[in-house]
Chains A and B, each alone.
Chain A
Amino acid sequence: MSKVNLKTELAVLKLRNPIITSSGTYGFGEEYAPYCPPSLLGAITVKGITPLPRLGNPVPRLAETPAGLLNSVGLENPGLEEFKKSYLPKLPGLDTEVIVNISGFSIEDYTFLASAFQSDSGIAALEVNISCPNIKHGGMAFGTHPESAQEVIATVRKNTDLPIIAKLSPNVTDIAEMAKAVERGGADIISLINTLLGMSIDIRSQKPVLANKMGGLSGPAVRPIAVRMVYQVYEAVDIPIIGMGGISTWQDAVEFMLAGASAVSIGTANFVNPMAPIDILTGLEEYCQQRGYGSVREIVGLAHQR
């Protein structure tokens, strides 16, 4: 039907289309399968995995803010061993590309996690979450210092032959500098943005709403920040970008691609509309068709021309 070529190449990572679902918002792929067939998506990203199982933070873990969501899940996950045993074998059945998101609290954690996934593991790429605190360095997130961000990515590079996606934290003053650092570290692709650190206080109880006090802000409220950062990173590096942060409609996806994203990832919007990824793909395709683009990749970065 469509004459628009949706095939998306992110360096060595090849996807049937540019629509991805975001880590932590899409479980292990099967939760949303009854609502949105994974086979229609370019890729899904599974929940962040750490070396050992984590119970995560106490509840309340969620707080709604205007057009946004604060979460403090605290990286609850089954840990590497259980993930490989109980979840990984089921992923190929989803008939889509699978990106595994890894999170560590030390360089050793990243070494350990990266070596556990290779090109024969049945997954398409590793996404490295560098927004976690580095416990050996006073808890500052790896992703807030160019040196430690580069070091984490270089470590992962050394230990896996899979394509590496470096996922940037927006909680920095100079996102372009961080992007250059992970490019130097050997990242094949950059994804951004992770959540923005935020807080909400209940004026009745006069206490923070989240048990963890602070949490990560996502949803439409963060979109202009994410678009700005994608735009800046596009000018700073030569590797492809996966844009995310508040995308809920096809118009939002087009905006990210014009800013320089070769693919887009949908997170919080799934909670509201589990069909959002498909609706966005359909709208994106129509936009390209109506404007006479033969391929969706032709619109990437167009906002930089003027």
Chain B
Amino acid sequence: MILKERVVENRIMGHPAQGLYKMVLSGQIAQTAIPGQFIHLQVADSNDPLLRRPLSIAGIDKVKEEVTIYYKVIGKGTELLTRIRENEHVSVLGPLGTGFTIPEQGELLLVAGGIGVFPLLSLIQVIDNEKVRVKLLWGGENKQFMESAGLIDIEKMGVDMEMSTLDGSLGTQGLVTALLESYLDGGRITELKDKGNLKVATCGPKGMLKAVTNICLSHKVPVEVSLEERMACGVGACLGCVCSVKDSEGNLKRKRVCKEGPVLDGKEVVWDE
């Protein structure tokens, strides 16, 4: 079904230089959405831009029947999105694609790059804190992003987090992969790893996902990645959004990021064809 969701909130977050926006939609999406899925949203009633825009679900409130998305203005489509006012209705397909596996025990390690932190937030929301320990590693360009995103003191919300920035303005200077390496090398989690009680979920730019996957696999830690690819239909009909995977016999296959993804098992993804 094509849904008409009501825009409850659509506002800029923090520093204008970040171009970061939050949008809350009220309607049916929340009923069935799971963390990791996305929506395919029509930004304008015109032929330019022609296509819908895929956006990850970052928050799911089943009681209020609302989903939250965060987006960064990078082109015409996202710019038009900022002009949508509260109480207007938008045409949405979704929830679409696969979601993250939700662990019931052990530790879930979230590895986020830049704006990729948002889809992982919806995962934090649904985890049973009594049974599963959650740890977040975030890497980005600078402190301003985290300030704008309102995540600078996410630790107060009970999330254990380590951060790194390229300019060193927040956390350690460097890449999130360095945080990941030293965390996985740490003695404390050896036992968790050995029992298979440590799982990683990651979202961010493709190069980071590849590096994170390689590090996890070398530590024999299972990892789920959330991929991005340019999309047209969003429902598996056009084959525009594929990624490459290796099947169990080692044959190269395609998967549709919109249908068999966006969340895939990191170990099957072929990063460089």
Contacts of B231 in A (CB 8 A): 62
Q: A71 — which chain B residues lie within 8 A by C-beta? A: 232, 238, 240
Chain A stretch 25-58: residues in CB contact (< 8 A) with chain B: 25-27, 31-32, 34-35, 47, 55-56, 58
Give the Cβ gap from A277 to chain B, nearest Cβ, in Å: 13
Would you call A67 and B47 a contact (CB within 8 A)?
yes
Of all chain A residues, the one with the shortest Cβ separation from B243 is A59
- Is the C-beta of B175 less than 8 angstroms from some C-beta in chain A? no
Q: Are B2 and A25 in contact (CB under 8 A)?
A: no
Chain B residue numbers with a CB within 8 Å of A34 are: 1
Q: Which residues of B contact A64 (CB under 8 A)?
A: 49-51
B254 at the interface (CB under 8 A from A): yes
Closest CB in chain B relative to A91 CB, distance in Å: 15
A4-12, A141-149, A183-191, A266-274 - interface stretch = A266-274
The answer to whether B2 and A61 touch across the interface, beta carbons within 8 angstroms, is no
Indicate if A220 sits at the interface (CB-CB under 8 A). Answer: yes
Is the C-beta of A24 less than 8 angstroms from some C-beta in chain B?
A: yes
> How far, in angstroms, from A47 to B252 measured CA to CA in the complex?
20
A31 touches B242 (CB 8 A): no
**A199–B1 Cα gap in the complex (Å)?**
34
A273-B241 Cα distance, complex, nearest whole Å: 18
Closest to A75 in B: B239
Q: Report if B93 contacts A (CB, 8 A).
A: yes
Tell me whether A59 and B48 are in contact (CB under 8 A): no
Residue of B nearest to A31 (CB): B237
- Collect the chain A residues with CB atoms within 8 Å of residue B229's CB: 59-60
Alpha-carbon gap, A296 to B161, bound state (A): 65
Q: Chain A's nearest CB lies how many Å from the CB of B82?
A: 19
Does B273 sit within 8 A of A, measured CB to CB?
yes
Output the least CB separation between B128 and chain A (Å). 31
Chain A 59-85, CB-CB to B under 8 Å as 1, else 0, gives 111111011110101001000000000
Do A59 and B242 form a contact, CB below 8 Å, given A66-B48, A67-B47, A76-B254?
yes
Contact A56 B239 (CB under 8 A): yes
A61 close to B230 (CB less than 8 A) = yes
Instruction: Tell me how far the C-beta of B182 lies from the nearest C-beta in chain A, rounded to whole angstroms.
Output: 33
Binding site for B on A (CB under 8 A): 24-27, 31-32, 34-35, 47, 55-56, 58-64, 66-69, 71, 73, 76, 219-221, 248, 268, 270-275
Mind listing 28 A-B residue pairs with CB under 8 Å? A24-B239, A27-B236, A27-B238, A31-B237, A32-B235, A35-B93, A47-B239, A55-B254, A56-B242, A56-B254, A59-B242, A60-B230, A61-B240, A62-B230, A62-B231, A66-B48, A67-B48, A68-B50, A76-B242, A76-B254, A220-B47, A248-B47, A268-B50, A270-B233, A271-B51, A271-B234, A271-B237, A273-B2
